[in-house]
Structure 1
Amino acid sequence: MKLPLLTGLITSALLSISAAQAETAIVLNSVDENVSFIDTRTYKETGRAPACKEPHHLIATPDDSSVIVACAVSNELVFFDPATGKEQKRIKNISDPYQLGFSPDNKWFVANSLRLDRVDLYRAADYSLVARVPAAKTPSHMAFDKASQFVFITLQDSNEVLAIDLKTQQPIWKVPVGPTPAGIHMTPDDKYLLVGSMGADYVEVIDWRARKTVKKIVTAKAAHNFLARGDGRHVFVSNRSMNGSISLVDMQTLTEVEKYDVPGGPDDMEIRADGKELWATARFARKVQVVNLEQKKLAYSIPVGRSPHGVSFISHAPRQ
């Protein structure tokens, strides 16, 4: 399927919602190769649009002027305006962009090629390819140190974390971790890497400078992905089993402090701007699950397409 795109598709979907609505949720349905639109006032899907082959993840550019949708199988990036939904540009020949990341200094754009066992390093200024780094096996998620010296990659099928030096574009070490590592997150003090062990039930805490595990934080079966709460202290962890949950981990005490029942394989997460709701895609249930963080429980369950993965919000307000 070609990408007819997000030009009139997203824009027309937005026009069906009142201009007073502050946000519309967009969800990437990876298997269906389309995008769901959800009215965040009514918590109902308002429409779908064709997207591309296997859209898995999306990311905002560092200046928030664009949201990038990564099309893993069709080998391209699609940029659109987060305020209007209008397509801005496409960059083709981005090989198998599964997971994306910008270095903190905004010099590097990194794409994990999960199917090809490779990490591609691009200049963030123009998305020109600089290096391709072998990364066996199955590079999944990534995290950076504050100095933008390293990018750390989880290797799902070799049960390792790989460190790549961004200055030399060379792999410099690997450390063994628990089974099927997925999400990876740097603590705010730049001291520890947190790694979700999808083949187990814990978050592994790695002192990356010493290259050793210092703790395992038990959360629940299939600990998978991370999302910072935004308070500089806590991070959400999705536990991606059918009878799933989302944990809240204190990154100072390295303990689980809260847990919410979120069935259906919770995966990617996003928090509303007011901090009151956490939205999570349920990969196995074809739903988006909405957790009320004040009540600490599941509030809404919204049907979408098959294998929903990335989730984000686009604003209705015109860009100033």
Structure 2
Amino acid sequence: MNANRIMSLIAVAQIAFLVSAGPAFAAGGKVYVADEESSTVSVIDTASFKKTGSIPVGKNPHNVQVAPDGKLLWVTNDGEHDKASERPEHEGMPKSEHGTLADAGAVWAIDTATDTVIAKIPVGMHPAHVVVAQEGRLAYVTNGGENTVSVVDISVQRVVKTIPVGASPHGIRISPDNKQAWVANLKGGTISVIDIQTQKQIAQIPVGKGPAQVAFTPDGRLGFVSLSEENQLAVVDPVSRKVIRRVKVGSVPIQIYATPDSKLLLVANQGTRGKPGTSVSIVVVATSKVTATIETERGAHGIVVDRDGRHAFVTNTYANTVSVLDIGERKVIATVPVGRSPNGISVMP
């Protein structure tokens, strides 16, 4: 048996053990950040609000997601660093131009107890976001380069289903009842609705221009999607699958996240590199009104709320920092330097 085969079997065994083991193995008190241009994942301590580590990963890590049980962190990237794109003739070339030189993208698994990479699973081209269903057996990855979602069986460490969706799938979230996955199709102007049981797209919801990320209130009563090309948030009825209202927010809204009590929705307003956004809009769910705007740093992009609903963590893509927000006080209480172009962000459950 060759060395690569042995290492693969070891990784499968490690993942199977972590999935089946009890919650005592889960680490805590960490926020993870995908540093897209540094090819790293930064680790932030939630007690001190300081960066405590940096994990080398593959090329262009875009999004991270801690599994519901906290044992594994998943990160999307464009695979291993290839020598072709690092040659002098490719220096300074936009990623979109030399990306075709690479193989398919990947999703990597990181053991949160040790913050080490334990598995690398090939998926589709240019994967964007990853989520894990609540039972912890399947991961879903949006492949922006080929208009599909890869379904990864975590226990066997491979893709078991590829689901066609809309144009340029980006953000993805699992519904609170664990029955559906909603996908924001960035260039399609729609949300794809995937049935978790059948692993098929069962609907596309027209929403508007530039849908970047979706969200649900934890009580499951409402869904949301950020419309990055309209500077709006669309509120979606999960039953009728229709947009029921729109909310004006900041410039180029990207990631959105609801508080655990389903009362507030936080929206990160990135803006553009030439005119960066520097704010998070706080929307009251009951009224669909923006009641506060918190100033962060340049390029507010990714956002996550901790399990207590006390703090939010925001990646500032153009400032290479993470802002820590006190939601109740409506203010930034810490700013943490991280790697270059921080993008996706996730917190331990």
Report TM bin, short chain: 0.7 to 0.9
Q: Bigger CA drift: 295-304 or 231-240?
A: 295-304
Q: Bigger CA drift: 140-149 or 236-245?
A: 140-149
Instruction: Say whether the 8 Å CA contact 2:55–2:116 is kept in structure 1.
Output: no
2:214 paired with 1:184: yes
Structure 2 counterpart of 1:53, which letter?
A: K
* Cα distance in 2, alignment partners of residues 191 and 38 from structure 1: 32
Structure 1 gap segments, 5+ residues each: 1-21, 316-320
Number of the residue aligned with 1:100 = 130
In structure 1, which of residues 90, 115, 127 is the aligned counterpart of residue 119 of structure 2?
90
Number of the residue aligned with 1:284 = 318
Percent identity, aligned pairs only, is 23
Distance 1:161 1:102, change over 3 A: same
Q: CA deviation at 1:147?
A: 3.9
Q: Any idea what SS the aligned residue of 1:158 has?
A: coil
Distance 1:207 1:54, change over 3 A: same
* Cα distance in 1, alignment partners of residues 309 and 140 from structure 2: 28
Instruction: Say whether the 8 Å CA contact 2:218–2:260 is kept in structure 1.
Output: no
Structure 2 counterpart of 1:307, which letter?
A: S
Q: Bigger CA drift: 139-148 or 36-45?
A: 36-45
Structure 2 counterpart of 1:61, which letter?
A: A
Q: List per-residue Cα deviations over 1:248-278 (Å, max 9, x = no partner).
A: 2233333333321123111112345665432
* Cα distance in 2, alignment partners of residues 35 and 122 from structure 1: 21
Q: Any idea what SS the aligned residue of 1:56 has?
A: coil
Q: Any idea what SS the aligned residue of 1:247 has?
A: strand
TM-score by length of 1: 0.80
Q: Matches of residues 63-82 of structure 1 in structure 2 within 5 Å?
A: 63-74=69-80, 75-82=105-112
Q: CA deviation at 1:125?
A: 4.2
Instruction: Say whether the 8 Å CA contact 1:70–1:77 is kept in structure 2.
Output: yes
* Cα distance in 1, alignment partners of residues 134 and 29 from structure 2: 27
TM-score by length of 2: 0.74
2:173 paired with 1:173: no
Number of the residue aligned with 2:343 = 309
2:68 paired with 1:62: yes
Q: CA deviation at 1:205?
A: 1.0
Q: Any idea what SS the aligned residue of 2:277 has?
A: coil
Q: CA deviation at 1:112?
A: 0.5
Q: Bigger CA drift: 182-191 or 279-288?
A: 182-191
2:200 paired with 1:194: no
Q: Any idea what SS the aligned residue of 1:259 has?
A: strand
Q: Bigger CA drift: 250-259 or 61-70?
A: 250-259
Distance 1:201 1:116, change over 3 A: same
Number of the residue aligned with 2:150 = 120
In structure 2, which of residues 167, 170, 185 is the aligned counterpart of residue 137 of structure 1?
167
Instruction: Say whether the 8 Å CA contact 1:188–1:233 is kept in structure 2.
Output: no
Q: Bigger CA drift: 37-46 or 120-129?
A: 37-46
Q: CA deviation at 1:294?
A: 4.3
Q: Any idea what SS the aligned residue of 1:240 has?
A: strand
Instruction: Say whether the 8 Å CA contact 1:83–1:314 is kept in structure 2.
Output: no
Q: CA deviation at 1:124?
A: 4.5
Structure 2 counterpart of 1:93, which letter?
A: P
* Cα distance in 2, alignment partners of residues 108 and 26 from structure 1: 20
Q: Matches of residues 146-225 of structure 1 in structure 2 within 5 Å?
A: 146-225=176-255
Number of the residue aligned with 1:5 = none
Q: CA deviation at 1:45?
A: 4.6
Q: Any idea what SS the aligned residue of 1:175 has?
A: strand
Q: Bigger CA drift: 252-261 or 40-49?
A: 40-49
Distance 1:213 1:37, change over 3 A: closer
* Cα distance in 1, alignment partners of residues 52 and 139 from structure 2: 33
Structure 2 counterpart of 1:268, which letter?
A: G
Structure 2 gap segments, 5+ residues each: 1-27, 81-104
The number of residues matched between the two structures is 293
Q: Bigger CA drift: 22-31 or 201-210?
A: 22-31
Q: Bigger CA drift: 284-293 or 177-186?
A: 284-293
* Cα distance in 2, alignment partners of residues 277 and 147 from structure 1: 25
Number of the residue aligned with 1:259 = 293
Number of the residue aligned with 2:88 = none
Q: Any idea what SS the aligned residue of 2:171 has?
A: strand
Distance 1:84 1:210, change over 3 A: same
Q: Bigger CA drift: 215-224 or 244-253?
A: 244-253
Q: CA deviation at 1:42?
A: 6.1
* Cα distance in 1, alignment partners of residues 318 and 33 from structure 2: 14
Q: Any idea what SS the aligned residue of 1:203 has?
A: strand
* Cα distance in 2, alignment partners of residues 275 and 102 from structure 1: 21
Structure 2 counterpart of 1:285, which letter?
A: A
